[in-house]
Amino acid sequence: MHLRRIPRETIEQVLAHSIVRATDTLTGYSVAVGKGPYGKTNRLLAVIYEETPQQIEIVSVHPIRTSQHRMRLQRGRWKAK
């Protein structure tokens, strides 16, 4: 988030309006994929987070291609919620 200079508002937007919600089968973290501003364009972003009843802790945020998130779902790395 800080390293890639992705604003908090962008992460909140992806979490609120995600097109894919899944669980990473290797780590157990939740994943939300959605569009948001990254650099000079809107890109698909993957927000990896851990959710507890009290809070949501962001683990990582990074740009992702459509083919990447589809393959992770097809091959079982991510399990759709």
Over residues 39-52, the pLDDT tens digits come to: 889 999 999 999 99
Q: Is the dihedral of CA 40, 44, 47, 53 positive or negative?
A: positive
Residue boundaries of the structural domains of the chain? 8-80
- The b/e string for 50-61 (b: 16+ C-beta within 10 A; e otherwise) is eeeeeeeeeeeb
Place of tokens 């939300």: 32
Amino acid at 56: I
Over residues 7-61, the pLDDT tens digits come to: 899 999 999 999 999 999 999 999 999 999 988 899 999 999 999 999 999 999 9
